[in-house]
């Protein structure tokens, strides 16, 4: 399982910085820009913004689970997750901006208020993997930074801290290798293959 950064404090710093950049990018888009294609096939920018909002709400459910012990998965089921993205993506731009900012701020508050003993409580990731709540800030940092790039607007990977980018590369490589792509990745990364492997979609 990917490890992410070494500590929660670092992950939270990256989460906050990535969120700041993403929200600034969203605020800088004109209304018509929301209907332009993102870097994700089949998604306009409004779908990316909707997903980032829903992702924050999903992580808030995991924080609630860690705090109370009440099992509240990120999403009830994959179909409902996709339907919610479409539903939110269809909102007026002003509502989209309000939702993505409001959920990001609410998640930050929830994490600030999580009792110390709850950080080690076990929850399930969207993929059904067991993890402690300590992993939530890194997973959210990963979401906001990658989807910042997906917006293909004023900011992207070049605007992120080098240590965050290094952690992201290590995390993705570990995830890809666990999925059976280790030999192809090893050949390419060591310069033994000029052809980058076709790894398929990530997450």
Where residue 77 falls among pLDDT bands split at 50, 70, 90? confident
The Cβ-side half-sphere exposure at 128, using a 13 Å CA radius, reads 3
* Domains contained in the chain, CATH given: 8-161 (1.20.120.450)
**Which residue would you say has higher pLDDT here, 69 or 173?**
69
Q: What is the pLDDT of residues 42-54, one digit of tens each?
A: 999 999 999 999 9
Prediction pTM value: 0.91
**Which residue would you say has higher pLDDT here, 6 or 116?**
116
Where residue 2 falls among pLDDT bands split at 50, 70, 90? very low
What pLDDT was estimated at residue 1?
37
Helices 78-89, 45-68: axis angle to 10 degrees equals 130
Q: Tell me: pLDDT of 151 over 70.
A: yes
Structure tokens at 68: 């109370």
Q: Tell me: pLDDT of 57 over 90.
A: yes
What pLDDT was estimated at residue 14?
97
What pLDDT was estimated at residue 5?
55
SS (H, E, C) 135-154: HHHHHHHHHHHHHHHHCCCC
What pLDDT was estimated at residue 61?
97
Q: What is the pLDDT of residues 92-131, one digit of tens each?
A: 999 999 999 999 999 999 999 999 999 999 999 988 899 9
What pLDDT was estimated at residue 109?
98
Q: What's the chain's Rg over C-alpha atoms?
A: 17
């Amino acid at each position: 399982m990917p490890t992410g950064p070494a500590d929660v404090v670092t992950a939270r710093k990256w989460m906050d910085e990535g969120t700041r950049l993403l929200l600034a990018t969203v605020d800088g888009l004109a209304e018509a820009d929301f209907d332009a294609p993102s870097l994700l096939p089949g998604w306009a920018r409004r779908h990316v913004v909707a997903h980032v909002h829903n992702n924050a709400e999903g992580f808030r459910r995991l924080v609630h689970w860690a705090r109370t012990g009440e099992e509240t998965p990120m999403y009830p089921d994959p179909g409902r997750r996709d339907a919610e993205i479409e539903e939110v993506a269809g909102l007026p731009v002003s509502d989209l901006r309000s939702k993505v900012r409001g959920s990001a701020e609410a998640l930050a508050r929830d994490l600030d208020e999580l009792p110390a003993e709850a950080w080690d409580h076990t929850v399930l990731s969207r993929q059904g993997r067991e993890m402690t709540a300590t992993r939530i800030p890194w997973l959210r940092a990963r979401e906001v930074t990658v989807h910042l790039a997906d917006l293909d607007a004023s900011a992207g990977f070049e605007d992120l801290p080098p240590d965050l980018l290094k952690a992201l590369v290590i995390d993705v490589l570990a995830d890809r290798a666990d999925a059976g792509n280790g030999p192809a990745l090893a050949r390419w990364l060591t310069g033994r293959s000029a052809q980058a492997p076709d790894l398929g979609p990530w997450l």
